[in-house]
């Protein structure tokens, strides 16, 4: 095999390995995305919770969560040369509905429901 044939063969192998790498990356990304399923609503018994609801309403419909994490973050927005900072109180409320239902993680920002994440089966 001369130098040109070897170079062509090496390029084909490289191209195949790149394609395989992309396929593996896509497969891994889809697995990661499957772990974080975002829902637009959540049913507590016969009541429906939706994005935008106030925390007070969610608590009155669903009761107290099984676990709560709270922290504060600062969002910074740029308006030309002016920067504005906004304090945001973040709360993640976990609703564990037992082993036959998925755990729901409700993210509140400043008292409003912003995201509902579906986890694994409860315990």
In sequence order, which residues have a C-beta less than 8 Å from that of residue 55 and are 6 or more positions away?
A: 91, 93, 108, 111, 112, 113
Looking at residue 82, what is its pLDDT? 84
Predicted confidence (pLDDT) per residue in 46-85, tens digit: 899 999 999 999 999 999 999 999 999 998 888 778 888 8
Residue 122 · residue 97 · CB < 8 Å = yes
Show the CA angle centred on residue 71, arms to residues 95 and 84, nearest 5°.
125
The C-alpha atoms of residue 112 and residue 38 are separated, in whole angstroms, by 16
Please tell me the pTM assigned to this model.
0.65
- 14-51 pLDDT, tens digit each: 564 444 344 444 444 444 444 445 667 888 888 999 99
User: Maximum CA pair distance of the chain?
Assistant: 78
Regarding predicted confidence, which is higher, 20 or 101? 101
Hey, where are the domains in the chain? 1-35, 38-121
């Amino acid at each position: 095999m001369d130098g040109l044939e070897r170079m062509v063969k090496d390029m084909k192998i490289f191209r195949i390995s790149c394609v395989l790498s992309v396929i593996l990356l896509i497969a891994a990304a889809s697995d990661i995305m499957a772990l974080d399923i975002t829902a637009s609503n959540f049913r507590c018994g016969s009541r429906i919770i939706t994005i935008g609801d106030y925390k007070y309403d969610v608590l009155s419909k669903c009761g107290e969560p099984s676990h709560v994490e709270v922290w504060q973050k600062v969002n910074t927005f740029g308006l030309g040369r002016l920067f504005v900072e906004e304090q945001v109180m973040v709360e993640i409320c976990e609703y564990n509905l037992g082993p036959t239902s998925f755990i729901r993680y409700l993210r509140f920002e400043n008292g409003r429901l912003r995201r509902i994440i579906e986890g694994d089966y409860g315990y």
